[in-house]
Amino acid sequence: IGRSVRFYQSTGSTMDDAAEWACAGAEEGAVVVAETQTASRGRLGRRWISDEGNLYFSVLFRPEIDALPLLSPLAGVAVVRSIRQVAGLYPSIKWPNDITIGGLKVAGILAESAMSGSLIQQAVVGIGVNVALDVSTDAEIAATATSLNELAEPQVDRSELLRRILQHMDALYLDVRRGRSPIPEWRRWLDTLGQRVTVTHHGTSNVGLAEDIDDLGNLMLRTDEGELLTLTAGDITLRAA
């Protein structure tokens, strides 16, 4: 991962750049990095602030079908390990894959894939890390997000952080291809288990206990009626109940 890298001072979204580059024959592990994005996106169609000073990049995969659900957890583990090493901070993961410190979001992960029939053509994993984000300009952001440089002393070296994340992704992806899943380590960083949560799914809300995750990273929610629901990340928002 990271043998081929494209850097843009400004682009729409590195998700689109990586997907287009994939169609033009980019090798697996190709990386697109941008200083700013004008059309960046988060999960569930949400916005993602893309001002200068933070880290925005996407990585191209051509995974076997079994590995597809593991790409996002793998990226989460790589980000947590790297923040620990480079910033000396101790992040958690909020299911499905928000990287948080003290309950505030420092990084987000977005996985998108394109299929042709039952074959995966490509998968793009995009990562945004708040390194120098100024959260004070927006009350909503200030209440939900933070950035590494607000918490870390000395300030974080962005290129070192990127290098580490790519190294860890590379090692974890090799593990996956050898049959070793990132899920056990990912589960260790999850702070959602054992909590009462509200899960909103296609407009309906379920309150229950976040009981466990399964081998693919799906959340198993025990509802107040005693039913065990298995929830996939895609179409869900989760908050403390």
Contacts with ligand BTN, residue ranges (CB under 6 A):
13-15, 37, 40-43, 46, 48, 56-58, 98, 108-110, 126-128
Residue 134 burial (10 A CB sphere; 0-12, 13-18, 19+): middle
List, in sequence order, every beta strand (DSSP E) within the chain: 5-11, 31-37, 55-61, 92-94, 98-101, 104-116, 119-129, 196-201, 204-213, 219-223, 228-231, 236-240
CA 220 to chain centre: 20
Whole-number Å distance between alpha carbons of 237 and 96:
9
* C-alpha span between 214 and 216 (Å, rounded): 5
- Determine the Cα–Cα distance for residues 175 and 141; give it in Å rounded to an integer: 36
Q: Which is nearer to ligand BTN, 56 or 189 (CB)?
A: 56
Min dist. Cβ of residue 222 to ligand BTN (A): 25
- Minimal distance, residue 37 CB to ligand BTN, in Å: 6
Pairing of strands 98-101, 5-11: unpaired
What's the length of the chain?
A: 241
Q: Looking at beta carbons only, is 37 or 181 nearer to ligand BTN?
A: 37
- Which lies closer to ligand BTN via its Cβ, residue 126 or residue 217? 126
- Select 8 or 48, whichever has its Cβ closest to ligand BTN: 48
Query: Which residue number, 134 or 175, has a Cβ lying nearer to ligand BTN?
Result: 134
Q: Quote the CA–CA distance of 130 and 149 in Å, as a whole number.
A: 8
